[in-house]
């Protein structure tokens, strides 16, 4: 039996023009274009980004990925999504899954692909790399993310404040993804280490609603959206000598 391929395609962080030629080619030649369903019946962000590129007869497949942390709920959603995807793959149809940001970097696609391959080891999954949100944020800020021998630390979530202090001690550049829910705890730490003027926040990088905060001095509190990234240049030279163990 010949089965179709599931492509995970990085489609940009926001600007539709930031898709790769390869991503665009596979998106437009796929039989079915899948993406995370939007909330409350509205189109999701990925769906909006790829809208200019889709060709009329292409079938759209919105997949439900609830915004919860309950692993049981998530697992069930991934299984349902994988079953839907498989129902097309086993008919030898090609699916392009549109993913905001890079496909290998904290992507919902990973869970879908892993669930699919656990159930159907014969499934063929391929990915197309793309723009990663910290790099998009650095680009719109007009700063380098890393230079020379700077150590980079990326934290997708923060457990506690002690962890941030430990990371600031270790790394030359620190990126906090999804900083919105912990920002009021992060600000005093940045103040304590005199890093407020070496910190930037970008909300929704490269989307039309993008917002930049390039001085956090007067911003102990911010009402940030879910897709907000904080970049801290702890040590700009990157020539810090490691502490001896």
Position 48 contacts its own copies (CB under 8 A)? no
Q: Are 232 and 173 in contact (CB under 8 A)?
A: yes
d(CA 180, CA 161): 14
d(CA 96, CA 170): 39
The window from 30-38, 57-65, 81-89, 165-173 that contacts its own copies (CB under 8 A) reads 165-173
Position 82 contacts its own copies (CB under 8 A)? no
The 10 Å Cβ neighbour count of residue 237 is 11
Position 24 contacts its own copies (CB under 8 A)? yes
Given 37, 49, 171, 234, the residue binding its own copies (CB under 8 A): 171
Closer residue to its own copies (CB): 157 or 217 = 157
The 10 Å Cβ neighbour count of residue 134 is 25
Question: What is the x/- site pattern for its own copies, positions 113-152, by CB under 8 A?
Answer: ------------xxxxxxxx--xx-xx--xxxxxxxxxxx
Total of chain residues touching its own copies, rule CB under 8 A: 61
Per DSSP bridges, beta strands 152-155 and 59-63 are: unpaired
DSSP code at position 118? H
Closer residue to its own copies (CB): 213 or 219 = 213
d(CA 63, CA 111): 13
Given 104, 210, 235, 236, the residue binding its own copies (CB under 8 A): 104
d(CA 109, CA 16): 19
Footprint of its own copies on this chain (CB under 8 A)?
A: 12, 15-22, 24-25, 102-107, 110-111, 125-132, 135-136, 138-139, 142-157, 159-160, 162-163, 165-167, 170-171, 206, 241-242, 244-245
């Amino acid at each position: 039996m010949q089965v179709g391929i599931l492509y995970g395609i990085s489609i940009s962080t926001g600007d539709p023009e930031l898709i790769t030629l390869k991503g665009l080619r596979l998106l437009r030649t796929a039989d079915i274009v899948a993406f995370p369903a939007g909330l409350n019946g509205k189109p999701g962000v990925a769906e909006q980004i790829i809208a200019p590129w889709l060709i009329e007869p292409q079938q759209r497949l919105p997949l439900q990925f609830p915004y919860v942390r309950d692993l049981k709920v998530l697992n069930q959603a991934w299984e349902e999504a994988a079953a839907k995807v498989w129902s097309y793959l086993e008919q030898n149809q090609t699916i392009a899954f549109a993913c905001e940001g890079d496909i290998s970097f904290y992507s919902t696609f990973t869970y879908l692909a892993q669930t699919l391959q656990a159930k159907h080891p014969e499934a063929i999954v391929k990915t197309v790399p793309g723009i990663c949100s910290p790099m998009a944020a650095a680009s719109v800020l007009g700063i380098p993310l890393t230079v020379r021998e700077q150590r980079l630390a990326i934290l997708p979530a923060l457990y506690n404040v002690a962890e941030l202090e430990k990371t600031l001690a270790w790394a030359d550049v620190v990126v906090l993804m999804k900083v919105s829910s912990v920002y009021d705890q992060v600000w005093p730490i940045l103040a304590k280490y005199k890093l407020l003027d070496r910190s930037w926040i970008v909300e929704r990088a490269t989307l039309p609603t993008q917002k930049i905060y390039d001085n956090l001095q007067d911003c102990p509190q911010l009402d940030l959206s879910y897709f907000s990234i904080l970049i801290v240049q702890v040590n700009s030279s990157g020539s810090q000598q490691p502490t001896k163990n």
